């Protein structure tokens, strides 16, 4: 088990380098560069800058330089935000996104699992239909529509919550809910479907034949198998959470990493884009590893060597 | 046969399922009794209603789509159908237990064997954790699992099919139930393992005095194990008789067909094995007459027109057939003319 | 020539004609059996596919499996509701704008000169003349929503088709070839997973934008919107870009299916008769994996529509003068406090469509998944 984790952790490094390389190639493949847009500079200054960033060297040398720096964990300075290193920018903006993301994740898991289990337990009840209708709504209403609607209702009509910006807990409620909505819906549906599937299996019939009450049958015998699909969803969910944070940060004027990333891509701020992509890909891979490890705890048939 | 009372009596049981194709009468008017210490065999092809009958007795029919629509199930004087589901749970696993067909899927793959064994006795016998653990080991030893003490903490996937079925039996017998229902306990197992498991059930039954219902599609399995046999077809009892009599003098063409298709160790090389022509009927759309008429060698017009009567041959022997008496007479003649020392009867 | 073979389920020997019907039912235990003639000696194997008619032994997968699924689908009220809404929506966006032009003279980009009337506000709430109100510039919202629906539905269809073609081919090849090839192909999928798709879309749009647009895209755009329509060909480029970031899960689904199918007997039979690898994958394996593919494709449609809306919200998707539900809603958000109908109508229309697609997807899954067929 320990060996498996170590090996997977070691693989993350070359995988992240691959991701960064592909990203670098993608950025270089796109026509134009940071300086080619409205920021046309006098040729002498541009030549200076090109030298500073090594843009005058052949591609493979630039690539090797980039890889070397990335391996050292040094992405250099942002082109857009002068005199600020990429690592500083990430460290400054990450806490906002991470707070909202983590809270949304926990909320989605808690509400989704609870609703899904109860809906499966009381299949075809009013709760089942109600929660599944809500879940369908959550899947069908884009979050950039949901967010503004929440703002209208809770800030402009009811004056309960502040409409935007960073601050206390009350500032977090709407962004977190907006971000969590679609994952709540997904997890509730996956949990319900997984539980219903498991509850049809032979070993559940065995558990019932033993005389166990329905609650024990469900929680002790059904739950583990039922939430396997939810666990496999949590990996990809993290990756797509990023796109969600972009919207939420924009709607609620939160200075998070999501918008910094979009801006960096649009501005061709190569070091910043590379830094954020490297950071995110490592995060995603660590998370996928965590998912795989939790499979092992969930299902004794899976053994990692 | 020790007649010290009836343990289970089922009277005119009807269990129906609501399906896309309409109502399926999976069990349609089944009646039988089981005396204490007796073993009853229920034989039939898949879809004949033999499993549904026993799931009904345990009140394990998934509802919806299934429903017990009529009949009485009296277990030791208790009217099982009248019980609340909580009261049924007090009986399940404690006083009547069940072994299922596929040991590969019937044990929870996520839980340790010990957990699965312990929860029964902790629930029904009020065992402490320690008592339950010791009892689990004892039960595994009883069903012949070697090295039970170390294997009790294993997971199902670490056991072979036969061993898993032994675990299932240990689990079912943990609370020393009065009735054990074994639903095709050997069908999913290798032929060599089948005999071992049957021997185990037979042996445990003798030791613990449990009454047993053995469900199977294989007449060969029930021959040496049971006191009496019910043959089911399309949700109905086709024939009901003491084992010895059923094998010697069957009074139903379907039973005769089944008997002829059992491979005989003394089977002549090169001689074709008989098989009943055709397929079991679609229970959702039964014809008005005898459900077996289409496949029956001696069917006449009346068989396709009218539903056959349940003919009483003698005190313990019944057959659902228009020509039950004639078939019986024919069987008697055959048995006498061959002067067979009824070789299939092991008693 | 008949042979006696053992039933793999109950071991009873059964009389079999190897040249007769492929299917046999064990009279003893009722198991459905297939005659496997791939080895030196014919043998009986359990048939669990359920694609053979039990009585005749004829292959019925083509007809009755799909017919059954269709029947089940029609019994699912929500799925039928979804299909009806989608059909209405499709007809509305195709002929709707023309009808509105005939009835009221409004087109999606018609700015009436008289609507201004001296006041500075041009956005009016819903009225008989404008059932969905007008936008900032006084354009009829109904006409714009219907026009935007064309783009949004096209996103759904074209992007899903692109993701289908790429995902199915990728997954099928990886699953069938297996070994090192499979490993490399699936690691590539993992790597693309770890790159934010926004980056890929933006790069694809800028690399292939303008004069670099691939011929296949300009051809398609020319066929639909008339030759030389630069704006439209950029929208088609967006469709392709979205499709090219949405195939990853499809590839995984298909690979899983192929892995479970490729060792089955009909594949061995095809191999033995000399069918090419390409033929085995695309004529024998893929059609058998169609159920999950259809289900997943139905669920990809709403997801790419959402992604398009999200990109349009960020200003990266559909550009003016073209509009989609997403870009209309994004425009509406700016004025949500004063002119809420500008968000509500495109937003609700889109949500209703996604709702219907999700219901249809759910219904298809239930209809095609034999797991849920019990009783």
Where do the DSSP E strands lie in B256-331? 310-314, 317-320
User: Is residue B268 within 8 Å of residue B254, measured between CB atoms?
Assistant: no
To the nearest whole percent, how much of chain C has pLDDT over 70? Answer: 67
On chain A, the residues whose CB falls within 8 A of the CB of C202 are: 30, 265-266
More confident residue, A124 or A107: A107
User: Is residue C203 within 8 Å of residue A264, measured between CB atoms?
Assistant: no
On chain A, the residues whose CB falls within 8 A of the CB of B161 are: none
C191, C194, C251, C299, best to mutate vs chain A, most A CBs in 10 Å: C194
On chain C, the residues whose CB falls within 8 A of the CB of A32 are: 206
With bands split at pLDDT 50, 70 and 90, how would you rate the model's confidence at B3? Answer: very low
Provide the chain A residues 59-78 that lie in CB contact (below 8 A) with chain C: none
Nearest chain C residue to B16, by CA: C375
Report for B62-71, C104-113, C205-214: range of highest mean pLDDT: B62-71
Q: How distant is the Cα of B105 from the closest Cα of chain C, in angstroms?
A: 15
- Facing residue for B17 by CB, picked from C11, C30, C375: C375
To the nearest whole percent, how much of chain B has pLDDT over 90? Answer: 0
Q: How far apart are CA B316 and CA C177, in angstroms?
A: 64
Instruction: Give the residue from B192, B237, B239, B270 showing the smallest Cα distance to B10.
Output: B237
Whether omega before C321 lies within 30 degrees of 0, making that bond cis, reads yes
Q: How distant is the Cα of A272 from the closest Cα of chain C, in angstroms?
A: 13
More confident residue, C51 or A283: A283
Whether residue B272 lies within 8 A of chain C, CB to CB, comes out as yes
What does pTM read for this prediction? 0.76
Whether residue C302 lies within 8 A of chain A, CB to CB, comes out as yes
Tell me if C75 and B273 make a contact (CB, 8 A cut-off): no
Here the tokens at position B247 are: 């094998």
With bands split at pLDDT 50, 70 and 90, how would you rate the model's confidence at B13? Answer: confident
Q: How far apart are CA B101 and CA B187, in angstroms?
A: 6
Tell me if B92 and A208 make a contact (CB, 8 A cut-off): yes
Between chain A and chain B, the number of residue pairs with CB atoms below 8 A apart is: 71
A32, A135, A138, A144, best to mutate vs chain C, most C CBs in 10 Å: A144
A112-126, B38-52, C202-216, range with the lowest pLDDT:
C202-216
With bands split at pLDDT 50, 70 and 90, how would you rate the model's confidence at C48? Answer: very low
Nearest chain B residue to C13, by CA: B273
Touching chains, B (3+ CB pairs < 8 A) = A, C
Whether residue C14 lies within 8 A of chain A, CB to CB, comes out as no
The pLDDT value recorded for residue C110 is: 60
Report for A126-135, B112-121, C3-12, C48-57: range of highest mean pLDDT: B112-121
3-state class of C253 per DSSP? helix
Q: How far apart are CA C173 and CA A160, in angstroms?
A: 56
On chain B, the residues whose CB falls within 8 A of the CB of C375 are: 17-19, 62, 65-66
- The full length of chain B comes to 347
Tell me if B279 and C54 make a contact (CB, 8 A cut-off): yes
Provide the chain A residues 219-248 that lie in CB contact (below 8 A) with chain C: 236, 239, 242-243, 246-247
Here the tokens at position A187 are: 């997890």
Whether residue B268 lies within 8 A of chain C, CB to CB, comes out as no
Q: How far apart are CA A241 and CA A263, in angstroms?
A: 18
- Facing residue for C330 by CB, picked from A144, A156, A236: A144
Percent composition of chain B: helix, strand, coil (DSSP 3-state, to 5): 35, 25, 40
Instruction: Give the residue from C36, C235, C35, C66 showing the smallest Cα distance to C148.
Output: C235
Q: How far apart are CA B42 and CA B271, in angstroms?
A: 29
B90, B106, B169, B172, best to mutate vs chain A, most A CBs in 10 Å: B106
Residue C1 pLDDT > 60 = no
- Facing residue for C55 by CB, picked from B18, B20, B279: B279
Tell me if C194 and A15 make a contact (CB, 8 A cut-off): yes
To the nearest whole percent, how much of chain B has pLDDT over 70? Answer: 92
Here the tokens at position B121 are: 């006795």
Here the tokens at position A70 are: 């990335």
- The full length of chain A comes to 305
Q: How far apart are CA C253 and CA B310, in angstroms?
A: 55
> Mind spelling out the 3-state secondary structure of B182-198?
EECCCCCCCHHHHHHHH
Cβ-proximal residues to C267 (8 Å cutoff; 6+ apart), any chain: C261, C280, C284, C285
Here the tokens at position C80 are: 């039928």
pLDDT in tens, B258-270: 888 776 665 555 5
Instruction: Give the residue from B155, B180, B14 showing the smallest Cα distance to B93.
Output: B180
- Facing residue for A281 by CB, picked from C195, C207, C333: C195
A148, A163, A194, A251, best to mutate vs chain C, most C CBs in 10 Å: A148
Tell me if C15 and B275 make a contact (CB, 8 A cut-off): yes
A258-272, B166-180, C176-190, C278-292, range with the lowest pLDDT:
C278-292
What does pLDDT average to over chain A?
80
User: What's the sign of the alpha-carbon dihedral B296, B298, B304, B307?
Assistant: negative
Tell me if C197 and A136 make a contact (CB, 8 A cut-off): no
On chain B, the residues whose CB falls within 8 A of the CB of A213 are: 86, 89
Long-range contacts of C177-181 (CB under 8 A, 24+ apart): C177/C277, C178/C259, C178/C262
Give me the mean pLDDT over the C122-136 stretch: 69
With bands split at pLDDT 50, 70 and 90, how would you rate the model's confidence at A289? Answer: confident
User: Is residue B245 within 8 Å of residue B316, measured between CB atoms?
Assistant: yes
- Facing residue for C375 by CB, picked from B19, B263, B276: B19
Q: How far apart are CA C221 and CA B326, in angstroms?
A: 82
Tell me if B98 and A207 make a contact (CB, 8 A cut-off): no
Query: Beta B78-79 vs C32-36: how paired, if at all?
Result: unpaired
Which phi and psi (to 5°) does residue C15 adopt? -80, 130
Burial class (CB in 10 A: 0-12, 13-18, 19+), A5: middle
The pLDDT value recorded for residue C9 is: 57
Q: How distant is the Cα of B280 from the closest Cα of chain A, in angstroms?
A: 25
Model ipTM? 0.81
Provide the chain C residues 38-77 that lie in CB contact (below 8 A) with chain B: 54-55, 71-72, 75
Cβ-proximal residues to B304 (8 Å cutoff; 6+ apart), any chain: B287, B288, B289, B290, B293, B294
The pLDDT value recorded for residue C22 is: 58
- Facing residue for C25 by CB, picked from B217, B218, B279: B279
Neighbour tally for B129: CB within 10 Å: 9
Residue C58 pLDDT > 50 = no
More confident residue, A209 or B274: A209
Cβ-proximal residues to C105 (8 Å cutoff; 6+ apart), any chain: none
Nearest chain A residue to B92, by CA: A211
pLDDT in tens, C70-97: 777 787 778 888 889 889 888 888 887 7
Instruction: Give the residue from B251, B243, B222 showing the smallest Cα distance to B43.
Output: B222
Q: How far apart are CA C200 and CA C316, in angstroms?
A: 12
The pLDDT value recorded for residue A111 is: 92
What does pLDDT average to over chain C?
73
User: Is residue A168 within 8 Å of residue A152, measured between CB atoms?
Assistant: no
User: Is residue A276 within 8 Å of residue A269, measured between CB atoms?
Assistant: no
The pLDDT value recorded for residue C21 is: 56
To the nearest whole percent, how much of chain C has pLDDT over 90? Answer: 1
- Facing residue for C14 by CB, picked from B17, B191, B275: B275
A24-28, A160-164, B225-229, C187-191, range with the lowest pLDDT:
A160-164
Q: What is the secondary structure of C267-283 as a DSSP string? A: HHHHHHTT--HHHIIII
Whether residue C15 lies within 8 A of chain B, CB to CB, comes out as yes
Tell me if A210 and B108 make a contact (CB, 8 A cut-off): no
Cβ-proximal residues to C93 (8 Å cutoff; 6+ apart), any chain: C146, C147, C149, C150, C153
Cβ-proximal residues to C158 (8 Å cutoff; 6+ apart), any chain: C236, C239, C240, C243
Q: How far apart are CA A159 and CA A154, in angstroms?
A: 6
Burial class (CB in 10 A: 0-12, 13-18, 19+), B238: buried
Query: Beta B96-99 vs B179-183: how paired, if at all?
Result: parallel
Residue C65 pLDDT > 80 = no
- Facing residue for A19 by CB, picked from C195, C203, C343: C195
Q: How far apart are CA B233 and CA B211, in angstroms?
A: 24
Q: How far apart are CA C213 and CA B210, in angstroms?
A: 80
User: Is residue C316 within 8 Å of residue C132, measured between CB atoms?
Assistant: no
Residue C55 pLDDT > 50 = no
Touching chains, A (3+ CB pairs < 8 A) = B, C
Here the tokens at position C365 are: 């899954």
Whether residue B280 lies within 8 A of chain C, CB to CB, comes out as yes
Tell me if C347 and A142 make a contact (CB, 8 A cut-off): yes
């Amino acid at each position: 088990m320990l060996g498996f984790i170590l090996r997977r952790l070691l693989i993350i490094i070359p995988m992240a380098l691959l991701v960064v390389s592909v990203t670098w190639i993608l950025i270089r493949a796109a026509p134009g560069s940071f300086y080619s847009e409205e920021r046309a500079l006098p040729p002498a200054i541009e030549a200076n800058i090109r030298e500073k960033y090594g843009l005058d060297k052949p591609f493979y040398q630039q690539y090797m330089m980039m890889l070397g720096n990335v391996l050292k964990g040094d992405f250099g300075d942002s082109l857009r935000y002068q005199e600020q290193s990429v690592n500083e920018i990430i460290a400054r903006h990450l806490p906002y996104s991470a707070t909202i993301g983590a809270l949304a994740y926990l909320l989605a898991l808690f509400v989704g699992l609870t609703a899904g289990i109860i809906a499966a337990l009381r299949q075809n009840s009013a709760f089942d239909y109600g929660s599944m209708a809500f879940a369908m709504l959550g899947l069908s209403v884009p979050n950039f529509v949901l967010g503004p609607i929440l703002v209208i209702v809770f800030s402009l009509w009811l004056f309960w919550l502040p409409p935007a910006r960073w601050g206390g807990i009350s500032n977090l409620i709407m962004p977190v809910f907006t971000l969590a909505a679609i994952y709540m819906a997904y997890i509730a549906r996956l949990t319900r479907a997984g539980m219903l599937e498991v509850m049809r299996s032979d070993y559940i019939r065995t558990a019932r034949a033993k005389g166990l009450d329905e609650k024990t049958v469900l929680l002790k015998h059904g739950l583990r198998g039922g939430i396997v699909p939810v666990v496999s969803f949590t990996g990809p969910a993290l990756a797509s959470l990023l796109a969600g944070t972009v919207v939420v940060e924009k709607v609620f004027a939160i200075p998070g990493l999501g918008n910094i990333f979009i801006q960096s891509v649009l501005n061709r701020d190569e070091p910043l884009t590379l830094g954020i992509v490297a950071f995110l890909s490592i995060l995603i891979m660590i998370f996928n590893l965590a998912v795989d490890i939790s499979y092992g705890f969930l299902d004794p048939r899976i053994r990692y060597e | 046969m020790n007649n010290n009372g009836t343990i289970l009596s089922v009277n005119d049981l009807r269990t129906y399922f609501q399906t896309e194709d309409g109502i399926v009468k999976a069990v349609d008017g089944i009646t039988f009794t089981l005396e204490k210490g007796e073993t009853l065999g229920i034989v039939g092809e898949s879809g004949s209603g033999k499993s549904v009958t026993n799931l009904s007795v345990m009140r394990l029919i998934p509802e919806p789509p299934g429903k017990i629509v009529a009949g009485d199930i009296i277990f030791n004087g208790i009217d099982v159908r009248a019980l609340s589901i909580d009261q049924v749970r007090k009986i399940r696993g404690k006083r009547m237990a069940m072994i299922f067909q596929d040991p590969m899927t019937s044990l929870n793959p996520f839980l340790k064997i010990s957990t699965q064994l312990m929860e029964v006795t902790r629930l029904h016998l009020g065992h402490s954790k320690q008592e339950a653990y010791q009892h689990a080991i004892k039960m595994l030893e009883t069903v012949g699992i070697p090295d039970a003490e170390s294997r009790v903490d294993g997971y199902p996937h670490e056991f072979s099919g036969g061993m898993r079925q032994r675990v299932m039996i240990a689990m079912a017998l943990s609370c020393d139930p009065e009735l054990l229902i074994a639903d095709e306990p050997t069908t999913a197992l290798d032929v060599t393992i089948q005999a071992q498991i049957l021997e185990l059930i037979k042996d445990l039954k003798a030791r613990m005095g449990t009454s047993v219902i053995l469900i199977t599609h294989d007449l060969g399995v029930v021959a040496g194990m049971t006191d009496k046999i019910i043959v089911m077809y399309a949700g109905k009892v086709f024939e009901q008789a003491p084992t010895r009599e059923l094998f010697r003098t069957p009074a139903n063409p379907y039973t005769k067909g089944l008997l002829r298709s059992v491979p005989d160790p003394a089977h002549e090389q090169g001689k074709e094995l008989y098989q009943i022509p055709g397929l079991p009927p679609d229970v959702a759309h039964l014809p008005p007459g005898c459900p077996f008429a289409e496949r029956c060698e001696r069917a006449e017009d009346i068989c396709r027109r009218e539903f056959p009567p349940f003919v009483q041959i003698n005190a313990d022997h019944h057959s659902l057939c228009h020509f039950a008496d004639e078939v019986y007479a024919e069987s008697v003649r055959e048995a006498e003319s061959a002067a067979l020392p009824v070789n299939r009867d092991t008693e | 020539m008949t042979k006696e073979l053992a039933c793999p389920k109950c071991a009873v020997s059964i009389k079999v004609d190897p040249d007769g019907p492929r299917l046999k039912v064990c009279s003893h235990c009722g198991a459905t059996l297939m005659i496997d003639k791939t080895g030196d000696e014919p043998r009986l194997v359990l048939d669990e596919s359920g694609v053979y008619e039990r009585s005749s032994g004829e292959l019925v997968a083509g007809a009755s499996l799909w017919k059954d699924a269709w029947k089940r689908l029609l019994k699912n009220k929500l799925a039928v509701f979804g299909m009806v809404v989608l059909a209405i929506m499709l007809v509305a966006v195709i002929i709707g704008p023309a009808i509105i032009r005939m009835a009221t003279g409004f087109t999606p980009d018609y700015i009436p000169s008289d609507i201004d009337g001296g006041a500075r506000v041009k956005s009016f709430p819903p009225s008989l003349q404008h059932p969905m109100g007008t936008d900032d510039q006084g354009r009829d919202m109904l006409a714009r929503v219907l026009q935007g629906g064309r783009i949004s539905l096209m996103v759904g269809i074209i992007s899903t088709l692109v993701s289908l073609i790429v995902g199915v081919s990728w997954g099928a090849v990886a699953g069938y070839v297996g070994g090192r090839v499979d490993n490399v192909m699936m690691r590539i999928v993992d790597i693309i997973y770890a790159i934010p798709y926004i980056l890929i879309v933006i790069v694809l749009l800028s690399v292939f934008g303008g004069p670099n647009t691939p011929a296949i895209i300009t051809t398609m755009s020319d066929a639909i919107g008339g030759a030389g329509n630069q704006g439209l060909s950029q929208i088609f480029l967006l469709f392709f870009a979205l499709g090219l970031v949405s195939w990853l899960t499809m590839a995984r689904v298909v690979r899983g299916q192929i892995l479970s199918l490729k060792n089955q007997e009909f594949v061995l039979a095809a191999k033995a008769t000399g069918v090419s690898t390409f033929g085995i994958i695309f004529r024998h394996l893929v059609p058998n994996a169609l159920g999950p593919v259809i289900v997943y494709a139905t669920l990809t449609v709403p997801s790419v529509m959402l992604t398009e809306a999200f990109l349009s919200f960020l200003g990266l998707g559909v550009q003016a003068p073209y509009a989609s539900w997403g870009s209309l809603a994004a425009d509406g958000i700016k004025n949500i406090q004063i002119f809420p109908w500008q968000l509500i109508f495109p937003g609700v229309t889109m949500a209703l469509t996604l709702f219907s697609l999700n219901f249809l997807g759910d219904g298809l899954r239930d209809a095609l998944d034999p797991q849920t067929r019990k009783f």
